[in-house]
Chains A and B, each alone.
Chain A
Amino acid sequence: MNAPRRDRLCAVLLLAVVLPLAGCREKQSSLAPKSHQARDIASLFWWMMGGAWLGLALVVGLLFWSWKRRNRRGFRDDTEGPKPGEQASWYVVVGLGIAMPIAVISTLFVISDLFVIKTTQAPAATATKMTVEVIGHQWWWEVRYPGTPAVTANEVHIPVRTPVRIVATTADVIHSFWVPQLNRKIDTIPGRRNAIELYADAPGRYRGACAEFCGLQHAHMDLYIFAEPEDAFRKWLEDESQPAAAPSGDAAAEGARVFQDGSCSSCHAIRGTDANSDVGPDLTHVGSRTTLAAVTIPNGDSSLRDWIIDNQHIKPGNQMPDIRLPSSQLDALVAYLENLK
């Protein structure tokens, strides 16, 4: 066996993990923790990985040793009787095969499942100052702030350095809410209310994803967590709780009419208007969101337009039909929606 070369190869591969990923705008990495929970899990991993490399080195070393001794006594001689090293081999099997794993794994078990688990387990309802409800849909996230009328989608704003209890539920199938830089994941199970704590060390935008296979567009069911200073968060929540502003200007007013009379209002809600369906995402403040369709495309005039007329191409199988509109109406609709800040 070619053990040294293999070890060097592994070392290179390992370095690739450790090296900061230059050129990446953003991360969804469990190895770039931004909370004490994620940090505990990451350091648990680094220790386990160190141990794993030692274990692998031990086995590769034994195989390499046998390769050095290959053909040593020539082929086809003494297959009878006890071989030299029988006794020593038993010691190795019992020592390394039974005693060592018991010691190592018991240690791992105690550290991770009795101590680290305390920081990552679901928080009690009263343990945090604040609760946010996240509801999985095929294939987007509905976000509600209990005690306020605020409803948004695919973007969760939280105050920084504050434990927030996320209650994760589902409107249809099983999804899994996961923001690896902040904490482990939690499934959304029909008929259950699961919870997880989110805490962010620093202000910033953290990428998350649905981690449980949930159908056609499972790949396009991502979300962002925005951790903001307390003041900014309060301001955002207040704005988000307001009903939609009245359309300003003719185009926007025309767009509002198209929205209400056309098919849009049969699925979407805009608080402060007659549209109040909860099939698709709440669009009350859609203009203030950074992306559309669960982080599938960036938000903006042209992408919103593309989405309305061509969403089945952008995100095939999503539950919104392509909307056919005369271009004047489409312009008006886009103007209206983009102004819903």
Chain B
Amino acid sequence: MAIATPPTPAAAQRMDRLEVMWQSRPGVLGWLTTTDHKRIGLLYFWTTLVLFGAGGVEALLIRTQLAQPNEHVVSPETYDQLFTMHGITMIFFFIIPMTTGAFGNYLIPLMIGARDMAFPRMNALSFWIFLASALFIYTSLFMGSAPNAGWFDYVPLASKEFNPGRNIDFYALGIIFNSISSTLTAGQFIVTIFKSRAPGMSFNRMPLFCFAFLAASFGLLFALPALSADTIFLFLDRNVHTHFFDPSHGGSVLLWQHLFWIFGHPEVYILIVPAFGIATSIIPAFTQRKVVAFPLVAVAELLVVFVGFGVWAHHMYAVGMSTISMVFFAAGTAMVVIPSTIQVFAWCMSFVTGTARFKTPLLFIAGFIFMFVTGGLTGIMFVAIPFDQQVTDTYFIVAHFHYIIFGAAVFPIFGGMYYWFPKVTGKLYYELPGQISFWILFVGTNLLFFPMHIVGLLGMTRRVSTYPDGLGWTAYNLAETIGGFVTLAGILLLLGNLFYSYLRAPAAGPDPWHGPTLEWTTSSPPPDYDYAVIPRVSSAYPNWDPVDREFDRRNLADGVLVLERGHEQPAVTPVDARFDEIVQMPHESPWPPILALALSLVFLMLVIGRYGVAGIMGIFCLLALAGWHSTEPQEQ
């Protein structure tokens, strides 16, 4: 924060004390025991980036196998494991943890003027569990028995009868393990967004980014139980001979599909809504205008997740449902379009009526709008049930959801990486290679995914490990593979640019973009305590309110509202954000990683069928919880 007037001696003393109070422990131990939302965000970032690399390698192996007809780069068994792990990795171990874990953790407290998440230790726990679940599921790949029935994992193909190895047990337990982490994160965000906002940031003054994360968190909280129930049933069916999915004993294979998609479709919105949040952060900064139709966009972000719970069966039109139930879900599919079109036109009109500067982040958002609209338009086509039944399980669907998931979720992640790079590192990035990386990625992804529409319509089915020549698919597949490698080049340039910028680029200062939200008012990178004084907020664009910022500067100089007597931050009323109380925040703790370790031992024992040992490990978990409880916030 730029300090206009020198602080009084009393204020300087308070600042020093604040510094000491929030200081992180140095070294590796500091990272292991950290509860700082920024450090946890960075841990998530690096972990998910590595996992993105793994998912990307899997994707390129798939594309290499499919470059030519009748290719034998990998065996069918390996191919099945590759596409299954690609899906699981990108959805559960890249996009969700990258948006909520990395972006959300780092930025939400900064955007709402808080010093940390509402439950910092739970936040740390959720990271360590996430890391453990990623290692758990990748262990299976190195053992050669990775999940191999697709990320959708339909029974009875995933049942013990047709899949006797440990592959699917890794799937079921890995997903349950991972959802513990996601549930913790979701609850964490909801409480943080409701309770930890700076006084004055009432609901209508909350950045759209926070609305998006609120929507995604509620979505996760309500969608994950269906998935957990489903995977628990699967594990029980496979290992203790229950009959949830066994039609010969009164079970139903469609139960799996219904529960899976009750989770799976909201999941799609959970993946892209945070990306909407990133877009609505970048757009005002680079058009220098408030987002058009702010209240409509905020409501649309919440609605898209809510309506998204009523469309799941459109993944199942080919299973032979009655026409009347299909028509019901088609109507839901039609309705969910409206919140999306509201947002698209609000973004476009913000571009048009603002002063658009097409720097790298905004280019990525423009590319995101193009990809999202393309994927959305093919999505609207699934309102037409007969057409859906024609193209479902073909490459047309693969094209559709990659436009949504890569185009609409990952492009904003890239844009956001550029946009917040100066905030996180304190350095600017190099603009020209940034723009080049965008164009390479834009061309690459379209070359990769657009021809998939065509081969799908020409009859190429999904999840095939190879395909015959002579059906008119060959040239398109080759183009897709080339597009895949062009995309890789774009990603490498992007990461290389950021890495080089981190080493060499000039310092950014606190606010290189004249950004609208609070995070641009603090220094880059932000101090451990985020804000030296609790900021005053009177609009949704606090950094564009010079009077409030001047007020903060005066407070800082006078040492007012520093809250340095402990690990303190204010809590507010959920809607109006009136000051409620000062909360003592917990400090760093070794217990979250210890509990995560004990929990992963439970899951490891479960997967190898040692239920007794798993129970003993469960006792270790309880001991870790007891240890955790015994070291509640240290008052100083």
Binding site for B on A (CB under 8 A): 1, 13, 16-17, 21, 24-31, 37-38, 40-41, 44-45, 48, 51-52, 55-56, 59-60, 62-63, 65-67, 69-77, 79-80, 83-86, 88-90, 92-94, 96-98, 100-102, 105-106, 108-109, 111-114, 116-117, 119-122, 138, 172-174, 176, 178, 180, 184-187, 189-192, 194-195, 207, 209-219, 222, 295, 316-317
Chain A residues within an 8 Å CB radius of B356: 66-67, 69-71
How far, in Å, is A53 (CB) from chain B's closest CB? 8
Question: Do A178 and B461 have beta carbons less than 8 Å apart?
Answer: yes
How far, in Å, is B208 (CB) from chain A's closest CB? 14
Question: Do B393 and A211 have beta carbons less than 8 Å apart?
Answer: yes
Question: Do B381 and A71 have beta carbons less than 8 Å apart?
Answer: no
Q: How far is the CA of A62 from the CA of B344 in the complex (A)?
A: 11
Chain A residues within an 8 Å CB radius of B30: none
B469-485 vs A, Cβ < 8 Å mask (1 yes, 0 no): 01110000000000000
Q: Which residue of B lies closest to A105 (CB)?
A: B334
Count of B interface residues, CB-CB < 8 Å: 92
A-B contact pairs, 29 of them (CB 8 A): A13-B454, A21-B472, A24-B471, A30-B391, A30-B457, A37-B386, A45-B381, A59-B348, A59-B370, A62-B349, A76-B514, A79-B289, A79-B514, A79-B544, A85-B353, A86-B353, A89-B293, A93-B292, A97-B342, A106-B334, A173-B154, A174-B157, A189-B253, A190-B156, A209-B459, A213-B154, A213-B462, A213-B463, A216-B465
Give the most central of B319, B346, B352: most A CB within 10 Å: B352
Q: How far is the CA of A311 from the CA of B599 in the complex (A)?
A: 45
B464, CB-defined interface residue at 8 Å: yes
How far, in Å, is A210 (CB) from chain B's closest CB? 7
How far, in Å, is B123 (CB) from chain A's closest CB? 33
Q: Contacts A96-B345, A213-B157: A194 and B390 contacting too (C-beta < 8 A)?
A: no
How far, in Å, is A93 (CB) from chain B's closest CB? 5
Q: Which of B367-390 contact A (CB under 8 A)?
A: 369-370, 373-374, 377-378, 380-381, 383-387, 389-390
Question: Do B320 and A122 have beta carbons less than 8 Å apart?
Answer: yes
B61-86 vs A, Cβ < 8 Å mask (1 yes, 0 no): 00000000000000111001000000
Chain A residues within an 8 Å CB radius of B289: 79, 83
Stretch at the interface among B272-280, B323-331, B581-589: B323-331
How far, in Å, is A198 (CB) from chain B's closest CB? 14
Q: Contacts A63-B366, A71-B357, A219-B464: A56 and B374 contacting too (C-beta < 8 A)?
A: yes
B616, CB-defined interface residue at 8 Å: no
Q: Which of B80, B247, B458 meets A190, CB within 8 Å?
A: B247
Chain B residues within an 8 Å CB radius of A30: 390-391, 457-459
Q: Contacts A75-B355, A191-B247: A216 and B385 contacting too (C-beta < 8 A)?
A: no
B244, CB-defined interface residue at 8 Å: no
Question: Do B338 and A101 have beta carbons less than 8 Å apart?
Answer: yes
Q: How far is the CA of A245 from the CA of B385 in the complex (A)?
A: 47
Binding site for A on B (CB under 8 A): 75-77, 80, 149-150, 154, 156-157, 162, 247-248, 252-254, 287-290, 292-293, 296, 318-320, 323, 326-327, 330-331, 334, 337-338, 341-346, 348-358, 366, 369-370, 373-374, 377-378, 380-381, 383-387, 389-394, 450-451, 454, 457-468, 470-472, 514, 516, 541, 544
Question: Do B77 and A317 have beta carbons less than 8 Å apart?
Answer: yes
Chain A residues within an 8 Å CB radius of B377: 51-52, 55-56
Give the most central of A29, A116, A217: most B CB within 10 Å: A29
Question: Do B320 and A85 have beta carbons less than 8 Å apart?
Answer: no
Chain B residues within an 8 Å CB radius of A222: 468
Q: How far is the CA of A89 from the CA of B344 in the complex (A)?
A: 12
Q: How far is the CA of A161 from the CA of B466 in the complex (A)?
A: 34
Q: How far is the CA of A176 from the CA of B389 in the complex (A)?
A: 11
How far, in Å, is B180 (CB) from chain A's closest CB? 28
Give the most central of A73, A77, A191, A217: most B CB within 10 Å: A191
Chain B residues within an 8 Å CB radius of A72: 355
Q: Contacts A45-B457, A105-B383: A62 and B348 contacting too (C-beta < 8 A)?
A: yes
